[in-house]
Structure 1
């Protein structure tokens, strides 16, 4: 049982579920993160409804399976994409119908990752144009005309803290809508739990070998790969259809050397997703459990979990905002540590630092 009772998070993808849940979790009180619901849902959890990459009707239907569960949470948190991708407006329109009487608090900024909200529009701090139109207009087009909605600008964590404080002073029940930035602000506003004297401090060490499975082709992740490869290009293996590529990965891991694995494929994105899943599955079928698994991309993390028979993750916190630390539950890699992030998240040197830390044993 976690020390943050009542938190329920509904996310549009798996890495988003993890980086939002991380704010409410510790190694001593992990929070379950699920993507299936065959056996019922726990009182406190984060759920990946996998709504981002599908059509609007499918997204709304998938979300609808979890709406009653979500709205019974305290806090109830709907996680949307910080780049405003996917079907977020239609999903909020459907939620508002079921959440009648609640105030929707919309604050999608994630300042640590360079996502801010200015004048009701989402921005990347390094971009000259906003990420789409006005948030209010998108919600109005989705049917939220008479709903009680607060769309909040924020450019810092202090701004998000102030939003939470102000909104919590009201008496109406709320549905919080945002990203890992707002989730962290909500967690900071809750009473701090008592920490046993024996509790570990600091970020856990990530021993070699670290196996990095990269399904994202986002420029942010490509830069991270390039920086991590710079000291030794042999760290990177691109999986083709040849079994010899898997052999190269396994040889590195057997020597205790960390490895970055991507997939060699040129073609439509939909086809690429299938090929990535197939090749990572082939690798994992022959792979022993690494000391640490690093995965970039929510769809990739789902594919990896399915390939090794995991049925959930237990998130234990965040290495830094947007980089969740969790452990696999069930399957061949049961208990293995996982670091995960969105393909669009992270500092340029992030992967390089993790590789150097693993190899040095720090």
Structure 2
């Protein structure tokens, strides 16, 4: 396991960054002083300097002292955790670490898409609003007046910076033009992973600067976590909202078009192949039977034209989901399966010939985490949810929980 040294400027930030390591099975300690570091080859540390709301000069001196002591021990990564809304003494603390660590590059990507903090056209956004135009601008301790990353860095570090915009991030065009200090746009987790992958492949000594979102992306690249398959057979409005939410956050959607299957316009094999390809490329992927109520009505119409009752259409849908999911799982490596809709869940269990589950815990109220008992995929982690249940974030949240190391 790689060893990480993370410098955070407040306690909650220290913990929300450290938990990203713990989720990958990395033993991590959050401490308030670098004197508590033990020379243990398996330990990573998050040091809370409590320097967000003090004067810049004080923050610089405090962080410099902490990093000087901490770097007497060997770490594979040094990471400066910053607030995703840009509060704090960001430039001063970067300078303090830089003077001791002497990195070849400083990567600044404070976006945290899971918490609706993004960077677009060089501007840090909170719920799609520039942070300088939100309540953060009136923070009583550290009001944020500058949300342009390049301007912020250059003003606070007194060093020239370059910004990489979203189009170039997604096209893999990382031209630093000789600059050591580089900031990045990022709208999704995939953007942060693309940045992380490119920078890691440079094999340079990097000071990483970001929120919990960037460290999560680095870990995803380093530890190659297998994806999650979602089986969504519920036709409820809540389920459709949940699908829309996770789609916006990078989960790939494959429509199981029951009407087209009944008409012979598509085949089960086409759906299986598309899903397997996405999963084998490490995309979390959802098989969805209904993207809108019109899909449901079209399925009923086509079924009725073929002489099928609603009950028989439901049985057909249940069977096809079971068949597809079994074939998909047989051809991929997954860290878990999410299931919503009672018929969908039991069809999956039947087709993989399991005899039941063992409950491990509850990820949200009424949403259990379990492992499969018996059958073809004994030990596979699953999460089940009733269709018309949960908030719009629930399925996406469950996907992240399935990826955690037990």
For normalisation by structure 2, the TM-score amounts to 0.44
Structure number with the bigger relative contact order (C-alpha 8 A, sep ≥ 6) is: 1
Which structure has greater helix proportion?
A: 2
For normalisation by structure 1, the TM-score amounts to 0.49
Which is higher, the Rg of structure 1 or of structure 2? 2
